[in-house]
Amino acid sequence: EGNQGAPAASGDTPGATAPTAAYKPPTITVGTADDSKGPAIAPEGAVKGGTVTMLDRDDFSHFDPAQIYINTEANFNRLIGRALTGYKRITAGDFKLVGDLATDTGTPSDGGKTWTFTLKDGVKWQDGTPITSEDVKWSMERTFASFITQGPTYVQQWLTDVDYKKAYQGPYDGKSLDSIETPDDKTIVYKFKTPHADASYAFAMAGYGIVPKAKDTKEKYDKEPFSSGPYIIKSHLVDKSIDLERNPNWDPATDPIRGAYPDKWHMEFGQEALQINDRLIADSGADQTAMTFYASVPPERLQQVLGDSSLASRRLNSPSPYGNYYYFNLDRMKDPKVRQAINFAWPSKQIQQTLGGPAAAALPTTILNENTTVGYQSYDLFNKVAKPDGDIEKAKELLASSSNPTPTVVYAYNQTPVQEQVTVVIKNALEKAGIKVVAKPLDRKTYYDSIGKVQNEFDLYWGGWGADWPSGSTVLPIIFGPVSDGAPNYSHLKDPAITAEMDKITAMTDIDAANAAWMALDKKIQETITPLVVAENKIATTLHGSKVGGAEIDPQQWIVQPDTIFVKP
Partner 1 sequence: MLRFITRRTFGAVVTLVIIAAVTFFLFFAVPADPARLACGKVCPPELLEQARHNLGLDQPLFAQFVSWLSGIFVGRDYEGLGHCSAPCLGYSFVNKAPVLGTILDRLPLTISLTIGAAVIFFIFGVATGIIAALRQGKALDKIASVSSLIGASVQIYFVGTLALYFLVYQNHILRQPKYVPFTENPLSWAAGLLLPWIVLALIFTANYTRMTRSTMVEQLGEDYVRTARAKGMSARSVVMRFALRGTLTPIVTILGIDLGALIGGAIITETTFGLQGVGQLSIRAVTSSDLPMLMATVLVAAGAIVVFNIIVDIMYAFIDPRVRLS
Partner 2 sequence: MKPPETVGRSPGQLMWLRFRRDRTGIASAVVVIFFLLVAIFAPVISWLYGKDPYALYGQDTPGLLNDYGYPILPSGGISSDFWFGIEPGLGRDVFMQLVYGIRTSLLIAVIATVLTTAIGVVIGIVAGYAGGKTDYVIGRVVDTVLSFPSVLFIIAFMPVVENIFVSPEEETPVWLRAVTLVVMLTLFGWAGLARLLRGQVLSMREREFVEAARVTGASPARIVFKELLPNLWTPILIQASLLLPALVTSEAALSFLGVGMIEPIPDWGRMFRRGTEIYQNDITYLIFPGVALLVFVIAFNLLGDSVRDAFDPKLKR
**Distance between CA atoms of residues 345 and 428, nearest Å:** 11
Tell which residue, 344, 413, 407, has the closest CA to residue 380.
344
Least distance from partner 2 to the Cβ atom of residue 449, Å:
9
Phi, psi angle pair for 188, to nearest 5°: -140, 135
Q: Are 69 and 150 in contact (CB under 8 A)?
A: yes
Tell which residue, 506, 507, 484, has the closest CA to residue 494.
484
- Write the interaction track for partner 1 spanning residues 282-301; mark x where CB under 8 A is met and - where it is not: x-x--x--------------
Which burial class, exposed, middle or buried, applies to 262 when counting CB atoms under 10 A from its CB (0-12, 13-18, 19+)? buried
**Distance between CA atoms of residues 254 and 82, nearest Å:** 11
- Residue choice 161, 239, 431, 510 for contact with partner 1 (CB under 8 A): 239
Q: Residue 350 interacts with partner 2 (CB under 8 A)?
A: yes
Contact range with partner 1 by CB under 8 A, out of 278-286, 340-348, 366-374, 399-407? 278-286
Q: Residue 174 interacts with partner 2 (CB under 8 A)?
A: no
Q: Which residues pair with 130 in a beta bridge?
A: 124
Contact range with partner 2 by CB under 8 A, out of 180-188, 199-207, 288-296, 352-360? 352-360
Q: Residue 304 interacts with partner 1 (CB under 8 A)?
A: no
Cβ proximity to partner 2: between 39 and 441 the closer is 441
**Distance between CA atoms of residues 331 and 459, nearest Å:** 8
Phi, psi angle pair for 520, to nearest 5°: -65, -40
Count of H-run helices and E-run strands, the chain: 15, 24
237 binds, among partner 1, partner 2, none (CB under 5 to 8 A by kind): partner 1
514 binds, among partner 2, partner 1, none (CB under 5 to 8 A by kind): none
- Residue choice 169, 275, 309, 404 for contact with partner 1 (CB under 8 A): 275
- Residue choice 24, 240, 334, 504 for contact with partner 1 (CB under 8 A): 240
Cβ proximity to partner 2: between 16 and 237 the closer is 16
Contact range with partner 1 by CB under 8 A, out of 26-34, 40-48, 188-196, 214-222? 214-222
Least distance from partner 1 to the Cβ atom of residue 498, Å:
20
H helix or E strand, kind and range, residue 326: strand 322-328
Which burial class, exposed, middle or buried, applies to 564 when counting CB atoms under 10 A from its CB (0-12, 13-18, 19+)? buried
CA-based R_g, the chain, Å: 24
Q: Which of residues 5-64 bind partner 2 (CB under 8 A)?
A: 7, 14-18
Q: Residue 169 interacts with partner 1 (CB under 8 A)?
A: no
Q: Which of residues 297-316 bind partner 2 (CB under 8 A)?
A: 298-304, 306
DSSP secondary structure, 392-439, as one string: HHHHHHHHHTSS-SS-EEEEEEE-SHHHHHHHHHHHHHHHHTT-EEEE
Least distance from partner 1 to the Cβ atom of residue 315, Å:
17
In sequence order, which ranges of 161-208 are alpha helices (DSSP H)?
164-167, 199-202
H helix or E strand, kind and range, residue 274: helix 273-282
Cβ proximity to partner 2: between 219 and 449 the closer is 449
Phi, psi angle pair for 75, to nearest 5°: -65, -45
Cβ proximity to partner 1: between 282 and 497 the closer is 282
The three-point CA angle 483-484-485 to 5° equals 140
510 binds, among partner 1, partner 2, none (CB under 5 to 8 A by kind): none
- Write the interaction track for partner 2 spanning residues 397-416; mark x where CB under 8 A is met and - where it is not: -------------x----xx
Using H for helix, E for strand and C for coil, what is the string for 530-569? CCEEECCEEEEEEEECCCEECCCEECCCCEECCCCCEECC
**Distance between CA atoms of residues 226 and 250, nearest Å:** 12
Q: Which of residues 444-503 bind partner 1 (CB under 8 A)?
A: 444-446, 448-449, 478, 484-488
Q: Residue 166 interacts with partner 1 (CB under 8 A)?
A: yes
Least distance from partner 1 to the Cβ atom of residue 492, Å:
16
56 to 148, 300, 361: CA distances (angstroms): 26, 17, 21
Number of amino acids touching partner 1 (CB under 8 A) = 45
Q: Which residues pair with 163 in a beta bridge?
A: none
94 binds, among partner 1, partner 2, none (CB under 5 to 8 A by kind): none
Q: Residue 443 interacts with partner 1 (CB under 8 A)?
A: yes
Q: Residue 14 interacts with partner 1 (CB under 8 A)?
A: no
- Write the interaction track for partner 2 spanning residues 477-496; mark x where CB under 8 A is met and - where it is not: --------------------
Least distance from partner 1 to the Cβ atom of residue 285, Å:
8
**Distance between CA atoms of residues 286 and 276, nearest Å:** 13
Which residues, 6+ apart, have CB-to-CB distance to 505 below 8 Å? 472, 473, 514, 517, 518, 521
Contact range with partner 1 by CB under 8 A, out of 83-91, 195-203, 252-260, 272-280? 272-280
Other C-beta atoms lying within 10 Å of the C-beta of residue 355: 20
Contact range with partner 1 by CB under 8 A, out of 40-48, 119-127, 148-156, 502-510? 148-156
Q: Which of residues 432-451 bind partner 2 (CB under 8 A)?
A: 438, 440-443, 445-446, 450
Contact range with partner 1 by CB under 8 A, out of 175-183, 237-245, 511-519, 547-555? 237-245
In sequence order, which ranges of 466-556 are alpha helices (DSSP H)?
476-479, 496-506, 511-528
Q: Are 496 and 489 in contact (CB under 8 A)?
A: no
303 binds, among partner 2, partner 1, none (CB under 5 to 8 A by kind): partner 2
Q: Are 63 and 223 in contact (CB under 8 A)?
A: yes
Least distance from partner 2 to the Cβ atom of residue 7, Å:
8
Chain residues in the site for partner 2 (CB under 8 A) = 7, 14-18, 274, 298-304, 306, 347, 350, 353-360, 410, 415-417, 420-421, 423-425, 427-428, 438, 440-443, 445-446, 450, 453, 456-457
Chain residues in the site for partner 1 (CB under 8 A) = 59, 61, 69, 146-147, 149-151, 153, 163, 165-166, 218-220, 222-223, 237-240, 269-272, 275-276, 278-279, 281-282, 284, 287, 443-446, 448-449, 478, 484-488
